[in-house]
Amino acid sequence: GLDSELIAVRVVERPLCNGWLLRLLTRRCQRLLARHGEKIAAPRGPLIVDHDHAGPRYGAPTEAALVATEIAAGEEGLHLETTYSGKAMAALIARSGAPGRPRRFLFWNTHGGRAEPQITGNKDISSLPDKIASWIEAAWGGPRSAAG
């Protein structure tokens, strides 16, 4: 597996998004994948919930989410909305500049029914585990390494 950190960005009231509930959802996801022939290990390390980007109520855009959606559109051509993906991008932007943080990030945009993934920046997936790289290749239809 990858030595990585998984961060959930809360967009609902705190009682509806907490560590206990996320662990429950993780176990359910593991069981679902197992029923379809995919076995994944439980996440190593803590489950991190970012509570800083929720906003005053569900669905209310935050200033950071509005800025993040503009940055994503302008710099990467990503079209994000402000309830989920914009808040997740705002959290990524906030964390990316923090001292001691890694310089490589994966932003997995699950919003909408877009048929083709948007591959931006460094397109080299050769260092990913084979299973993850094969998922990206299948969706992208590209080779394991296509810099540019």
pLDDT digits (tens, 9 = 90+) for 31-48: 988 898 888 777 777 778
Crossing angle, helix 85-96 and helix 63-71, to 10 degrees?
80
pLDDT digits (tens, 9 = 90+) for 67-106: 999 999 998 888 899 999 999 999 999 988 777 766 677 7
d(CA 25, CA 31): 10
Check residues 142 and 55 and name the one with the higher pLDDT. Answer: 55
